[in-house]
Structure 1
Amino acid sequence: MSDVGYVMRSPWYCRAREKIDLRSPLAQRPRIQMYDSSDFVDRLLVDPADSSGFGDDDVWTYPVPVTPGPTDDTRLRLATSRLVRTNLRKLYQPLHERFYVVVVEVFCDVPGLPRAGHHDEITVGFRTRRLHTSLTRKGRPARRVAANLVAELAKQQGLGACVPTSNDVRDVWWADAAWRRRFEEDHAADLAEIDCHTDVQQWLVSPKGGGRWRTVCDQTDAVLEGEHEEIIRMTRLPVRERDAECAEDAGPTGPGSRSLWFGVIPTYSGEHWLAPQPGGRPPVIERKLDDHAIYEIECVVEETREGCPPLTWVSAPTEPFRLADPMDPAGTKNRTVTITLPDFRRLAARAAEKQGPGGIRIVTPPDSQMKFNPFGGGMPKSGEGRIGAGAAICTFAVELFFIVAFFLFLMFLPIVVLLFQLWWLLALRFCIPPRVGFSAVADFLATGKVIGGAGWNATLAAELDIALGTDLRDVPVTGGWADELAAAKDPSGAFVFKNDSKMTHALIVSTDPRDASQPTPLPHEVSPSDPLCPVPAPVH
């Protein structure tokens, strides 16, 4: 057992990159590093300073309604909301091709803060803390403050006047000191009526399995027998490869004297817990990690002692962050998933063969079979269905399920778009058809002409269908997107597209595959030369 304590600081390369002194308060936080591929641990071991830089997508945003300009004929015409950025960090999911680690450097807590590389008796881990904010007076003052906060942010970011819908002060109260002071002065009356309190909570693990969030030092909520706070172990980083030769030459005072540790940050968990509710209401099931709470990470150095409780030292918290939900659009755009539709020719050939045991096996429990006539014309009416005996087992080819599901998607997409007038849904997809007719239709609309008006013909109507992903050529039916758009009316009864060539043009150009932005590699953080090397190592 050593007779010294320990302190933790930002990694040496972050301090060198930002020119921060070891004793500066800015150097006290462990750092969160981001990577854009699943081989991030390999990259980290080669050079911990080689991480991806954070950008505009890596902060929390709030949608605010906007009114598109009537003269705009770009995809912005379809957007009825815009995003307002805050300063709060956002961490994405692994399915978004984003991965995160927390890195910290350990020093001995004695004058001069010598590096702790020779201390092998310690272990380092990290714990996640949740910041839970409660409002003792909700209602109009809280809603007004939240709305005004987002409105101020929107104004600063050039979005103009808007009517925010956010009603949660906990999610937007982030601003820097100068901005926040001015806002407090402008809205002092409403703020005086709000009692806002933030608790720091810890995740306790039960010996019986599961866990719960508990407010730290809450005397009314004792830690139960066997419960302990979850600590995720961190791993010590070796000397980076480009400094290996330098480390041998420098000896015990070189890069090998560092005690640099990393841990993988979990951004998703399948665990749930029973959250107590105020007023004696029954508890509700909530996720351990969700996209509403704000989190911080603290690193913990632990030194075991024989026969005694371990000694622990805790770092300052990391910057606060929130977690993106799996369907976050800024995250899903980072990963492409390609699905090839079943080949009808191959399936027809397979129909001539004996079926194998594979596929989707559906077991219908007793008295659980839904019986109805799908051939009666239209949807079955109320009371026409019956519950049958069931207890059957059917195996369907996976391709059969997918064909029917995709058919239903193609059928209901236009219905949903037209019924609810969600025109921006069409801007979230594009098709690359056998022949591209975007230019012909776009050029026609760019001259100020409208669908169904002078010069509009069957060829342009067919190209419009193709542009919107519905190829109706050789289909013996009348109608199509041109007819539906020409007849579309808003709730006031005014035509949406019939007399508005710019709106139609915006719809077409938003689905043009040639306009799709190509992914660009994330910038890399600068990897500085190690100041402990007698001769600066070359940068590869």
Structure 2
Amino acid sequence: MNESGFVLRSPWYERSREGLDLRSPVARRPLIQMYDNPDFVARLLEDPADSLEFGEDDVWTYPVPVIPPPTGSTRVRLSTSRLVKSHLRKLYQPVHERFYVVVVEIFCDVPGLPRAGSHREISVGFRMRRMHTSLTAKGRPARRVAADLVAAMAKEQGIQTRVTASDVRDVWWADAAWRRQFEEDHKLELAEIDCHSDYQQWLKSPKGTGRWRTLRDAGDPVREGEVEEIIPMWKLPVRAVDAECAEEAGPKGPESRSLWFGVIPTYSGEHWLAPQPGGRPSLIQQKLDDRGIFEIECVVTQPREGCPPLTWVSAPSEPFRLADPMDPQGTKNRTVTIKLPDLRRLAARAGEKQGPGGVRVITPPGSQLKVNPFKGIPGSGAGRVGTGAAICTFAIELFFIVAFFLFLLFLPIVILAFQLWWLLALRFCIPPQVGFSAMADFVGTAGLGALSATQRAEFNIAMGMEFGDFAVGDRTPDWVDSLNAAKNPDNTLVFADKDLAKAVVKGTDPLDTVQPAALPHEMSPDDPLCKVPAGP
């Protein structure tokens, strides 16, 4: 490294919190910081040390099948899976109300590592590197190792699992000491598995397309015009709490620091053509997905007139994976409210001349699907493809009404057909008067079939359906009837188990939800470069 070059370290406040020396290997890593609000940049500029602590939900987990307890009437009776935690960091999506930045501090690479705040000619960015694991093995050894690996992780966390067929690539996480012991216990199976990990860089072409390229792969050279994507970073000002101190301290105070931050992308609309072995056609894959393991390296660039610029690279950040948008641990952080269309207002609108707005549907020639909907679900060959073309405009409310009706129609079918009782615990409605606790106790004693007419009506409303306005004497099966008639594969009644019925009622109680607690903040230490105020 050039004697007048630079070295990169974790920011001063992280070293202060953890008691790290500049020479510590841990201090060489850039710091990933988490926020729970879109105004995170304003908070970062105010005080970069004021971020959120990573908690139990911020590590990668693997769902494993478990046998629900045979007794008890809590939500646990409905759950057929549990989450096994790893030591790998997990970053969520903005739709989950989570935002992330990487922060690094720059020092001059001369004895004593002086702070580099005076250097204005440098630019700083970061690159994301992906760890790609390829696996070659016969199916049985790979499945056995993966299942044993997950089972061992679950056992360490007190979770009793069923047999599982996890993907070994998905669970081969980095905990060196623990993994060495596992490797020793599974020598024979691992000998049949060829598992190889490569680090990849994201290259951008002059045409704007991109691809992951394996580093140091002679068979996959960098093509003409391709450059690695560098995401820009910005220099952080002196934090607001230290502004007055910075003026008094002068060039040796907080102003002498060179702190930089960049926003970590946790999603991307970009795709690329991933080559496949054996001459098979390439596959279109996402640039950023929930399968890869990523690391961040910060890069300092110093231009030189007439010569290529000089660059200095930090050690990699801690590795992490990205949550997918439908990750349940992420979606629970954000409430989305959808109000159904008001049928009275739509009826009033129907009496007026229609405006141009709505959903415009264009049917190309030879693409019209013709079927008579009044004959029920059409059988094989009953439909026709029409030759005509049409342009229709529908009120968007009409689409939503039909879509929600189909949801209500098929939700019971899916739950009953596949016996996915835990789905009932993922939704709830608020009926007018029902006391869930009293109803749950009653069901736990007498069963669902003993509900009174009033209780039955309230229970159906809690399940999202109103049966009270049907014709007198209409005994169309409702939720109570359907659950009472549900049978196990061995033809026994599922809800003859009154505790299980009680668990279903409890699982739909809106008062049984947990309001998320405020997330703890990282400690914001006093700046050691500021003068300590004198006591009174």
Normalised by the size of structure 2, how large is the TM-score?
Answer: 0.96
Correspondence 1:475 to 2:470 = yes
Aligned to 1:65: 65
Task: Summarize the Cα distance change of 1:343–1:287 in structure 2 as closer, same or farther, 3 Å threshold.
Answer: same
Q: Distance in 1 between matches of 2:323 and 2:534?
A: 39
Report matched runs for 1:20-419 at 5 Å: 20-168=20-168, 170-376=169-375, 378-419=376-417
Partner SS state of residue 448, structure 2: coil
CA contact (8 A) 1:273 1:287 kept: yes
Correspondence 1:434 to 2:428 = no
Unaligned runs of 5+ in 2: none
1:138 shift after superposition = 4.2
Aligned partner letter, 1:133: T
Aligned partner letter, 2:484: A
CA contact (8 A) 1:35 1:98 kept: yes
Aligned to 2:526: 529
Q: Distance in 2 between matches of 1:536 and 1:436?
A: 60
Aligned partner letter, 2:293: I
Q: Which segment drifts farther, 179-188 or 196-205?
A: 179-188
Task: Summarize the Cα distance change of 1:333–1:80 in structure 2 as closer, same or farther, 3 Å threshold.
Answer: same
Partner SS state of residue 484, structure 2: helix
CA contact (8 A) 2:10 2:103 kept: yes
Q: Distance in 2 between matches of 1:164 and 1:3?
A: 55
CA contact (8 A) 2:444 2:501 kept: no
Task: Summarize the Cα distance change of 1:298–1:458 in structure 2 as closer, same or farther, 3 Å threshold.
Answer: same
1:164 shift after superposition = 2.6
Aligned to 1:460: 455
- Aligned pairs, number: 531
Q: Distance in 2 between matches of 1:283 and 1:351?
A: 52
Task: Summarize the Cα distance change of 1:203–1:535 in structure 2 as closer, same or farther, 3 Å threshold.
Answer: same
Partner SS state of residue 433, structure 2: coil
Q: Distance in 1 between matches of 2:136 and 2:409?
A: 49
1:120 shift after superposition = 0.7
1:390 shift after superposition = 3.1
Q: Distance in 1 between matches of 2:296 and 2:105?
A: 15
Q: Distance in 2 between matches of 1:149 and 1:450?
A: 41
CA contact (8 A) 2:65 2:161 kept: no
Q: Distance in 2 between matches of 1:341 and 1:467?
A: 17
CA contact (8 A) 2:67 2:161 kept: no
Q: Distance in 1 between matches of 2:533 and 2:392?
A: 69
1:101 shift after superposition = 0.5
CA contact (8 A) 2:59 2:89 kept: yes
1:197 shift after superposition = 1.6
Deviations 1:420-477 (A, max 9, x none): 1111111101111222242342121233x2222xx54333322321232222122223
CA RMSD of aligned residues (A): 1.6
Q: Distance in 2 between matches of 1:133 and 1:234?
A: 29
Deviations 1:486-523 (A, max 9, x none): 111122212111x1100100111011001011122211
1:306 shift after superposition = 1.2
CA contact (8 A) 1:101 1:262 kept: yes
Unaligned runs of 5+ in 1: none
Q: Which segment drifts farther, 431-440 or 13-22?
A: 431-440
Partner SS state of residue 193, structure 2: coil
1:387 shift after superposition = 1.6
Task: Summarize the Cα distance change of 1:76–1:361 in structure 2 as closer, same or farther, 3 Å threshold.
Answer: same
Task: Summarize the Cα distance change of 1:161–1:271 in structure 2 as closer, same or farther, 3 Å threshold.
Answer: closer
